[in-house]
Amino acid sequence: MSKYLYLIILISTTMISQNRNLEWAEEFDGKKIDSHIWNFKKGLGHNNEEQYYTSRAKNIRIEEGMLVIEARKEKFKGSKYTSARINTIGNKIFKYGRIEIRAKLSEGKGTWPAIWMLGENRQRDGYPASGEIDIMEHVGKSSSEIHGAIHYPELDNKKLNSSAASFRIPLSKDGFHTYAIEWDQKSINYFIDEQLFHCFTIEDAEREGRENIFQKPFYLIINLALGGNWAGEIDDSIFPARFYVDYVRYYK
């Protein structure tokens, strides 16, 4: 992408963001995680990850106005590690707009915090037919980078296409950054601290005879995984590892 085109996109998307209204926010100001919004996943993860997800307070809770997901080294139901994952399935869906999350990532080799989305049709049509929007992923072995990605199926709903980018994490005094996507009928643009780092053109996911999956609602997922196909070997000296989320905000 040329610097000139980058600047045009950055200016236009910033202007769009400023003109949007806040439709919904999760500030994590209560004493408990709101079960009317968030579901807890329990059990093993995917992608050969090594954690067992629980809903226990030692793994997930609200502290001082923040969501804390804490990964621990402990034996639990056949696994050596525990952590947590929540989603908004059936409670809160998103279609277009700006989705913004302020968070502080966990540290250490083997950690894999993520903020991502799956199509609401996943339970009916499966994956990859549902599509996937990875707002932010980070693996501890590449501590200076964050990743954003789009995944969508070929017409057979088996082969997977991807559009992804990595970006060097800016300096921060407190370790917090704001991760966001701005999504409309034509594109999905990725930001960290208002810096644009990836653009996806939705028509790239067009497949003859099928409605574009990025013209449909998605639900949100927040989790801290360990090990697996991407995060790799786990450093046992890092525990407990904590992933902090200050807020989630949705602008239309």
Active site residue ranges: 132, 137
Q: What is the rounded distance in angstroms from the CA atom of residue 121 to the CA atom of residue 184?
A: 19
Are 34 and 28 a contacting pair, CB within 8 Å?
A: no
Q: Is the separation of the CB atoms in 145 and 168 below 8 Å? A: yes
Long-range pairs for 69-72 at CB < 8 Å and ≥24 separation? 69/106, 69/113, 69/222, 69/223, 69/224, 69/242, 69/243, 69/245, 70/224, 70/240, 70/241, 70/242, 70/243, 71/106, 71/111, 71/224, 71/226, 71/239, 71/240, 71/241, 71/242, 71/243, 72/239, 72/240
Q: Is residue 243 within 8 Å of residue 69, measured between CB atoms?
A: yes
